[in-house]
Structure 1
């Protein structure tokens, strides 16, 4: 489907080409783009000349659209990152992890709507087909939430004589769509407390 081998390299044996931002980016192409960008940004004329002679037919498109940065990852190590404008270019080896992060951490397992939009906003070189394939194989999205039989409520309303005389408590199970609050605490349930006299919840 993706026309690559297990290492993320092209199967046709040809040297990788510079893809558009909407196309897949093989690992070989990614390394070439990093080499060109770092040589261009280094200010070292000999290094730039060597890279120019190596890739001369493609090089101007690269420096016009791409730039590279060194970032610190979660382990505290410096890693090179390639940018297409203000979006991160994603090599083939990182596609799964990036889509998973956008689908699970950011869009909370929403199906076909939110995940592709988040991926497009923050990253490039990930196709719509890849995102759809990931979502179709996501075990959380595949599993249907259990059907809960609706319970019949009270036949007549419960009358109360004063404020805080009687309460109604509803516990809503959100385990299938659990979200984190601003402190990072996972919320699996919602408790709704309603005062029968004032009707305030």
Structure 2
């Protein structure tokens, strides 16, 4: 383990925030972890937490022979905030588990409690947590599929805020039984372009018995007619707009896709 005065990475790309706000968050973070550490050290009782900290220090101090010869840094207390901030941003503001895994690649002494404290104060994560959730008390009957291609779910991901050249949307098609996803870039969400890409997927993997979507306005009559002309037995149903649970799996896939794309953009 090597001591370093600062920890940086070439993939550091951060959302713009004011310097004053960032310094305030950093100082508050340092004060909190110092207070937690002092409370633990001043406690005469050898608590489970202190035991775990001691074991972690012992494990970190051991020289381990392995194929991984990468250097890990011991981060000074005044650099812990920046180290966590960089790792958390590089993975697209994912949760505690993934942030800790990312930071452990380079840093030896950052703890899960410190990561948890940082994420609890992360502004972008606060915005995500503050998004209104569906408060409806109506129970939606879960959809059950018994075989591949028994039901396909399709949705559009709006990428107009961060387009890739001419491509501004992503068509996300998921087999409901296997959760296998197919993504197609779209220049627009017109019926013709959506239908063309769906037909390309169907001619490769086969058509589903039921095609489900809650994007009724995107899937206009022309799309339905073109698909129905080729597959006579194809049914097209629409998910309930106020109850996204009927499209829950593909909606979660949309969020995962956005997070992974955000990570690749930052790198």
Task: Mark yes or no: TM-score above 0.5.
Answer: no
The higher-RCO structure (CA 8 Å, 6+ apart) is 2
- Higher Cα Rg: structure 1 or 2? 1
Structure (1/2) with the larger strand percentage: 1
Using the size of structure 2 for normalisation, the TM-score is 0.30
Using the size of structure 1 for normalisation, the TM-score is 0.38
